[in-house]
Chain A
């Protein structure tokens, strides 16, 4: 997928080892109903330019008013990323011209970011490594451009529905040194943002976007080489591709004795390569200055404490707590904490029925299998955690067998009734009473001479077929373990 040209003939190529220095900027759209400075909806996928007003269109004489939810979500994210909070914080104008930016400036933060000097822990080689967060700030998103070519006429179309959507920008320090680390960072950050409920992180809808900066230095040194920025990274996969490409490109240049130029490149995911977007000479001069239309935002001690309390336990910590407190395997703990909804569901189940191991198995093997198949989240699952716990309890107490339990789970969804009610109504209680099972066992042995013969001839596996028949005749209610035991006893006596 890398398509770089071979070195020119006669060029001496060194074999110096280089290591990349990677920093990432992440943009995440915040989960609000309305835009950052006006009440236009932020809903995705609406017809073009149906969610605009004089404020987000950049008409003269309008005044932005801050969306309190957007500010709170940004603050929550900054706290989740262990940032120091600037109080008060304020907004700045970032000036540039582009058709998707109707005001010709973006309201962002530069001189006094909401959060600074934070960190995030990412898993690298089975250990946790800290990556520094340079700053976290709140800004507005731009609109969308569509590049059209129609009968030889070139033009662009602009949709401003997205203009003014609250956007969180998270800037790391240049502290990652491999594609794998960058990958771990992106996954960890995405899960953190989902956990904190600040963004839906839907990359296919542009809710989560990245920009990378990459430089190379001799392996083991601690200097910084010339930095190249790569834009247009709309998925984690795109970042990986762009980093691999850039590391290869810069290493080759350095080994050939050619300097890396400071430039901004644009990633082309389809072709798996990047191209120069602008050089150092054309570097943007954004002329940041404090936004005069907005006053500084104060955060009281009480407000800060309230938002701090709303930061949920982070996935990495929750996973180790699940292993420690519930005795779950590392794998089970990681599956159950992958999303906050599933982890909450699990803990609510355990609160109702303190049997974490069997609850974990039932959620992973049955509930999640079902919700995944139906393409819904556990939060939309019809069976409440308390009711699922009730079902697992019946199963563990031996009152129903696993097959019946599965059947009851489906009926719970269809009827909205709880497990004990359904078991009673269906008469589905497991038959674990020897005297009740005895006639069935007898009948099965009489009606199935072939497996009986096989068993008697030494094929112990044949008992499985007979248990199957017992289950069929008892309409699934027999305790299969007991049935197997009774069959073997009876057959062994026939020998």
Chain B
């Protein structure tokens, strides 16, 4: 099923991306090609095959629960466009 420019627009909005009409058409074609390719996998009979949980083998290591040093606050705020009284300052949020 071909991907429509509207679907591209929806996905772009979710990712907070602004696309031109030309880009939407272009990405629709690309996404379509990728999904059609992936469709091919459905032709395989995977019954009896354990689902793969992750692309990397192995299991998640864990660390002990002990607190360590954090960044100095100035350092933490340094990349922020705006800060105030030790806070990040952002445009107003309307809940």
Residues of A within 8 A of B (CB): 32-34, 39-43, 47-54, 57, 65-71, 88, 90, 95, 97-99, 112, 145-147, 154-160, 266, 277, 285, 287, 290, 292, 294-298
Q: Which of A67, A88, A287 contacts B59 (CB 8 A)?
A: A88
Q: Closest approach, in angstroms, between the C-beta of B90 and any C-beta of chain A?
A: 5
Q: Mark B39-73, 1 if CB is under 8 A from A, else 0.
A: 00000000000000111101111111111111101
Given known pairs A57-B76, A66-B60, the reply for A33 and B90 (CB within 8 Å) is no
Given known pairs A49-B87, A90-B53, A99-B88, the reply for A39 and B76 (CB within 8 Å) is no
Nearest chain A residue, comparing its CB with the CB of B13: A285
Q: Give me 6 A-to-B residue pairs in the complex whose CB atoms sit less than 8 angstroms apart, sorted by A's number.
A: A34-B66, A48-B73, A49-B87, A50-B70, A160-B76, A295-B54
Give every chain B residue within 8 A of A51 (Cβ-Cβ).
70
Q: Which of A32, A40, A88 contacts B70 (CB 8 A)?
A: A40
Nearest chain B residue, comparing its CB with the CB of A91: B60
The reply to whether A266 and B95 contact each other, CB–CB distance below 8 Å, is: yes
The reply to whether B93 and A147 contact each other, CB–CB distance below 8 Å, is: yes
Nearest chain B residue, comparing its CB with the CB of A68: B62
Q: Which of B14, B54, B73 contacts A50 (CB 8 A)?
A: B73
Q: Which of B55, B77, B86 contacts A47 (CB 8 A)?
A: B86
Q: How far is the CA of A296 from the CA of B56 in the complex (A)?
A: 10
Q: Closest approach, in angstroms, between the C-beta of B83 and any C-beta of chain A?
A: 8
Q: What secondary structure prevails in chain A residues at the interface with B?
A: loop
The reply to whether B67 and A40 contact each other, CB–CB distance below 8 Å, is: yes
The reply to whether B71 and A95 contact each other, CB–CB distance below 8 Å, is: no
Give every chain B residue within 8 A of A296 (Cβ-Cβ).
53-54, 59-60
The reply to whether B58 and A157 contact each other, CB–CB distance below 8 Å, is: no
Q: How far is the CA of A66 from the CA of B60 in the complex (A)?
A: 8
Additional 20 contacts, C-beta under 8 A, given A40-B68, A158-B90: A34-B66, A34-B67, A42-B67, A48-B85, A50-B70, A53-B76, A54-B71, A66-B60, A71-B62, A90-B54, A97-B16, A146-B87, A147-B92, A155-B90, A156-B90, A156-B92, A159-B88, A160-B88, A285-B14, A295-B61
The reply to whether A154 and B73 contact each other, CB–CB distance below 8 Å, is: no
The reply to whether A49 and B63 contact each other, CB–CB distance below 8 Å, is: no
Residue among A52, A146, A147, A290 with max Cβ neighbours from chain B (10 Å): A52
Q: Closest approach, in angstroms, between the C-beta of B43 and any C-beta of chain A?
A: 23
Q: At the interface, yes or no: B89 with Cβ under 8 Å from chain A?
A: yes
The A/B interface has a contact count, at CB < 8 Å, of: 126
Q: At the interface, yes or no: B84 with Cβ under 8 Å from chain A?
A: yes
The reply to whether A49 and B76 contact each other, CB–CB distance below 8 Å, is: yes
Q: How far is the CA of A69 from the CA of B63 in the complex (A)?
A: 8
Nearest chain A residue, comparing its CB with the CB of B74: A49
The reply to whether A69 and B61 contact each other, CB–CB distance below 8 Å, is: no
Q: How far is the CA of A298 from the CA of B59 in the complex (A)?
A: 6
Q: At the interface, yes or no: B91 with Cβ under 8 Å from chain A?
A: yes
Q: How far is the CA of A302 from the CA of B36 in the complex (A)?
A: 45
Q: Closest approach, in angstroms, between the C-beta of B11 and any C-beta of chain A?
A: 9
Q: Closest approach, in angstroms, between the C-beta of B41 and any C-beta of chain A?
A: 17
Nearest chain A residue, comparing its CB with the CB of B93: A156
Given known pairs A50-B73, A146-B87, A296-B59, the reply for A39 and B66 (CB within 8 Å) is yes
Given known pairs A157-B87, A157-B89, A160-B88, the reply for A41 and B67 (CB within 8 Å) is yes
Q: Closest approach, in angstroms, between the C-beta of A482 and any C-beta of chain B?
A: 59
The reply to whether B92 and A155 contact each other, CB–CB distance below 8 Å, is: yes
Give every chain B residue within 8 A of A295 (Cβ-Cβ).
54, 56, 58-61
Give every chain A residue within 8 A of B71 (Cβ-Cβ).
52-54, 57
The reply to whether A154 and B92 contact each other, CB–CB distance below 8 Å, is: yes
Give every chain B residue within 8 A of A158 (Cβ-Cβ).
87-90
Nearest chain B residue, comparing its CB with the CB of A286: B14
Give every chain A residue within 8 A of B16 (Cβ-Cβ).
97
Q: How far is the CA of A297 from the CA of B58 in the complex (A)?
A: 9
The reply to whether A49 and B88 contact each other, CB–CB distance below 8 Å, is: yes
Q: How far is the CA of A39 from the CA of B62 in the complex (A)?
A: 12
The reply to whether A70 and B65 contact each other, CB–CB distance below 8 Å, is: yes
The reply to whether A66 and B59 contact each other, CB–CB distance below 8 Å, is: no
Q: Closest approach, in angstroms, between the C-beta of B46 and any C-beta of chain A?
A: 17
